[in-house]
Structure 1
Amino acid sequence: MMPDMNGFDVAAVLKNDPQTMGIPIIILSIVEDQARGFGLGVDAYLTKPINAELLLRNVKMLVAQGASRRKVLVVNQDELTVKTLVDVLQAKGFTVVQAANEQDFLEKALATQPDTVIANTQFWEQSAAVQSLRLEKGLEHIFLILVVDPSVQDLASEQSG
């Protein structure tokens, strides 16, 4: 056990700071709370006693990736859609940043350097920011996902089932 701050708090601080959110985190804990760890965006969660082979496999995988590929920027004006996407992605261990408009989108994309952007068709069609995003240093290879159907309720029910 850590003296001043527990591992979950440390992971939360690191994953919520744009300068450290890309650092892969493996939690090694006596506490069996993987859902909490993955909800914070950790890359792996192992319980003690540690299985050395499993630990090495996880470390190798993260080193091979070069960095955590789990940062997603969700852009949508519909609060219910955003909440559903955020809940589903966070439950799967992704770090999620939200933006509601074009200005907010540009600022957060530049600050957080997401791996993936998810937005609805209306935003794609009306925003010049999406076109200019790939011209920004560090965002040339960003993965863009277009949500055609405004209802993501099916996605949430599929993920929970």
Structure 2
Amino acid sequence: MRLAHEIQPAVITLDVMMPGMDGWSVLRMLKADPKLHNIPVIMLSMIDDRMRGYSLGAVDYLTKPVDRELLHKALSRYYCAAEDICPVLLVEDDIETREVMARTLEKAGWTVSEAGNGQEALDSMSDQQPRLILLDLMMPVMDGFGFLTAMRARSEWRHVPVIVITAKDLTVADRARLAGNVEDVLEKTAYTREQLLEHVRDAVAACNISDQGK
């Protein structure tokens, strides 16, 4: 805990079985500390108890012996280059849905900004460029399609990954408009918390790898 306060790491890997204080106790302390609770924690253990880890706030769980490639992939999911902050822009007009999704993301260690429609999202991006956008399609003022058109027209925003989350029954024409402009499309209420976070991690990890190759 002392070291975590001193260096403020981007990610913490935490063993479960340790002398003195086990990993579960350390995880509870990390998530209860206002200065540390947003740091993503990956649990490492010989015992597969991932649901307990997730319920206590861990973002990932790997069983020992840990494969080096899997560990590298897990770490890359949570590493963001700029100041160890991973800002996610959540664009959703339904306040209740937006609040639930924001809490899920924040609990997993992401920094969330919110917008109620496409125009608000564009205004928000002028102040801070997100690492990822979660986008509803059916919104007032400017819908998700209009937002994508305006966003992709800006060279500095063209490569920001977008995940669409919608209740709209997409037509063939809708899917054609989204093709090449979004990383994934999720149907509202048809995914779990863990599935949402996995899609977010994978999109950001792919963006990180792309950035490293430039």
Q: Is TM > 0.5 for Structure 1 vs Structure 2?
A: yes
What displacement does 1:97 show?
Answer: 0.6
What displacement does 1:84 show?
Answer: 1.2
Conserved in 2, the CA contact under 8 Å of 1:38 and 1:44?
A: no
| 2:86 corresponds to 1:70 | yes
Q: Find 2:106's aligned residue among 90, 104, 113.
A: 90
Aligned to 2:114, the other structure's residue is in SS state strand
Conserved in 1, the CA contact under 8 Å of 2:137 and 2:145?
A: no
**Equivalent position amino acid for 1:139 in 2:** W
Question: What is the match of residue 121 of structure 1?
Answer: 137
| 2:50 corresponds to 1:34 | no
Question: What is the match of residue 157 of structure 2?
Answer: 139
Q: Which has the larger radius of gyration?
A: 2
What displacement does 1:104 show?
Answer: 1.5
**Equivalent position amino acid for 2:163 in 1:** I
CA distance 1:95–1:39, change in 2 (3 Å)? farther
* Structure 2: runs of 5 or more not aligned: 13-24, 43-70, 168-186, 197-214
Identity of aligned residues (%): 18
Query: TM-score w.r.t. structure 1 length?
Result: 0.56
Q: Report which structure shows greater RCO (CA 8 Å, sep ≥6).
A: 1
| 2:117 corresponds to 1:107 | no
User: 1 CA distance for matches of 2:119 and 2:37?
Assistant: 27
CA distance 1:152–1:84, change in 2 (3 Å)? farther
Question: What is the match of residue 171 of structure 2?
Answer: none
Query: How many residues of Structure 1 are paired with residues of Structure 2 in the alignment?
Result: 127
Q: CA RMSD in A?
A: 4.2
**Equivalent position amino acid for 1:132 in 2:** A
Query: TM-score w.r.t. structure 2 length?
Result: 0.44
Task: Write out aligned runs for 1:38-57 (5 A).
Answer: 39-40=37-38, 42=39
